[in-house]
Chains A and B, each alone.
Chain A
Amino acid sequence: MNLIEILSYGFIQRALLAGTLIAVLCSVLGVFLVLRRLSLIGDGLAHVTFGSTAIALALQLYSAASLLVSLPVVLLASLGILKLTEKARLNGDAAIGIVSAVGISIGIMLASVGGGYNVDLLSYLFGNILSISYEEVIIAAGLFCVVMVLLWLFFHDLLAISFNEELARVSGVRTNLISAVLVMLTALSVVLAMKLVGIMLISSLLILPAVSALQLARSFRACIVLAALQGGCSVVAGIFVSFLTNLPTSAMIVMINLLFFCCSCGVRRLITIRNIG
């Protein structure tokens, strides 16, 4: 099958467009999150979304209207993770673990006491990169713009708290506010992007491009550019390879990210050996 024919399908065009936007967005956010030891926040917030969707369905709010419940709940949960790391002095993984476990148990409890639903909850929770609608491309573009502009506005402060929070605080950065902005942008992205491309893709795109870029980059800016590049390329490559190999697209994108990670580890090793030599 040739390239032109593959590109002639509308769902492929939308997958490429929205997928790349979401991937770049997640990769850039991921750099900050990985440095702040909040790598698994994507998975954690996805579980909270499950719980909040159960609440929405119990209130008879379906599909788009369920966001009215999910968004505020997940935003609050992301702030909760932050507060747990600050006030209870927990590590990020433990804080995420608590919030994620509570989120999923609320969902399971409601699913049981509510006397069931009119639909299968799990099947409605996650999107698939191959089933993105026109409206969702616009949502992805809007989300991309909002997150990128805010990251750009807070770039220097985010940079400061990512490397040394104490130093940043002493030098007058409002660290609590900046951390809150970071996790809330993540929450917004997870809730919206999960419905578009599914959670497996989101949580892997929050981690793998960032850790690959951290292997190679000499500066923070370079790191962000590399991560964004890997995220974007992995989606484009993943869609085409999924076409050629007849394997599921999302899983293929994750595998390509893993390949990128292995390559960057290899390159880093080579550089180290050469420097020693």
Chain B
Amino acid sequence: MKRLNMVIILAVAVAVVFAGCSRQEQKESAKLQVVATLFPLYDFARTIAGDRAEVTMLLPPGMEPHSFEPKPNDIVRISRAGMFIYTNRYMEPWAESLLKGMDRQRLRVVDAGQGVQYLQNVAGDEHDHDVPGNHGAEGHAGVVDPHIWLDFSNAALMVDNILAGFIAVDPANAAYYRMNAAGLKGRLAALDQRYREGLADCATRVFLHGGHYTFGYLARRYGLEYHSLSGISSESEPSAARMAEMVRQIRSSGVHYLFAEELLSPRLTDTLAAEAGVAVLKLHGAHNLGKDDVQRGVGFIDLMEQNLVNLRKGLACRSK
């Protein structure tokens, strides 16, 4: 008798769980499913989507985009989605091969960087060069800088591209998406304004970064002179000569802070800072979020506000 009771209880429990699952699945499948590769795209897309679409991020928390390897689950998620958003072919070279087997009739692919004016970083020389312009006297072929979202006018352009995708896939909710996108672009414009004002009057305009080239777009927009220890490729390593050159650069420019990128190991930055006798401040590249930040629900604009605080401290900016 007791055993029979147990069986019934178990059966009911199983039925409840299954019913719950299938109901949840139905609810999910009714909504538009969107997969975004990196954090800025994910954050923009979820703001535009509001409660009318389900946006997920492809990269697991903390991971650097170059270390990414898709799991079977990721492929299933993309194949069930109605829209896939990536930054550009420089940032996620694996995106193209990931999409090869997908039904492109059903899945709308958004290249969020479409129409952005890409900048080049010339190897061995960290100054910016426009892509169509000349490539510097050295004659090096430059490397395209993929971190376009760090120029907030590009971020607004990315919002437009993502919005166009939403409207094409789900025209019924177009007005709702337009409203959310307009709100987001307004906040990005206000952020841009705060950066302009916050970085207008600084003791130094030299922005030194002891890591891979990341903040070129941001520096260019606000008229900062940006130098990084190494180039864009995450595989490149600095030479002893470049390390020494950077130490001399820190000393001669008279800055008091060297910047490091969040999520990445600060070993080289710490070494440089100790050598030159300056302190280290962190900036967020926003490719991805740490696990704790994901749980706290941090957004792109929050990260950029924190960057502004650290930039103002590092460059000794005066408030108006």
Q: Give me the interface of A with B, judged by CB distance under 8 Å.
A: 1, 6, 9-12, 15, 108, 111-112, 115-124, 127-128, 130-133, 239, 242-252
Contact = CB atoms under 8 A, between A and B. Distances in A.
Contact of B67 (A6, A11, A120, A250): A120
B183 interface: no
B264 A120 contact: yes
A251 B267 CA distance: 18
B239 A245 contact: yes
9 contacts: A10-B275, A118-B291, A119-B290, A120-B263, A120-B265, A121-B67, A246-B239, A247-B239, A252-B239
A251 B237 contact: yes
Contact of A130 (B71, B236, B240, B263): B240
A123 B64 contact: yes
| Residues of A contacting B: mostly | helix
A248 B237 contact: yes
B61 A117 contact: yes
Given A111-B60, A119-B290, A250 B237 contact: yes
B51 interface: no
A115 B60 contact: yes
Contact of A11 (B61, B236, B243): B243
B247 interface: yes
**3 smallest beta-carbon distances between A and B, as pairs:** A116-B61, A118-B290, A117-B62
A146 to B, nearest CB: 24
Nearest to A241: B240
B270 interface: yes
B271 A120 contact: no
B294 interface: yes
B244 interface: yes
Contacts of B197: none
Contacts of B244: 1, 6, 9, 12, 243
A14 B294 CA distance: 38
Contacts of A116: 60-63, 290-291, 294
Interface string B48-77: 000000000000111110010101000000
Contacts of B242: 246
A243 B245 CA distance: 10
A248 B236 contact: yes
B71 A112 contact: yes
| Most chain B Cβ neighbours within 10 Å, of A112, A115, A116, A124 | A116
Contact of B239 (A117, A121, A133, A249): A249
Nearest to A5: B244
A9 B292 CA distance: 38
A255 B236 CA distance: 16
B16 interface: no
B240 A12 contact: yes
Given A116-B291, A249-B239, A128 B267 contact: yes
A122 B71 contact: no
B238 A248 contact: yes
B60 A15 contact: no
Contacts of B243: 9, 11, 130
Contacts of A133: 270-271, 274
B179 interface: no
Nearest to A136: B267
B315 to A, nearest CB: 25
Nearest to A240: B240
A111 B264 CA distance: 16
Nearest to A126: B265
Task: Select the residue from B238, B240, B268, B270 with max chain A CB neighbours within 10 A.
Answer: B240
Given A120-B264, A123-B265, A124-B265, A246 B291 contact: no
A242 B239 CA distance: 6
Nearest to B269: A131
Given A6-B244, A116-B63, A11 B275 contact: yes
B4 interface: no
B264 to A, nearest CB: 5
Given A11-B271, A112-B71, A128-B268, A120 B240 contact: no
B291 A117 contact: yes
B6 interface: no
A124 to B, nearest CB: 5
A9 B62 CA distance: 33
A108 B69 contact: yes
Contacts of A108: 69
B62 A119 contact: yes
Contacts of B264: 119-120, 123
A131 B271 contact: yes
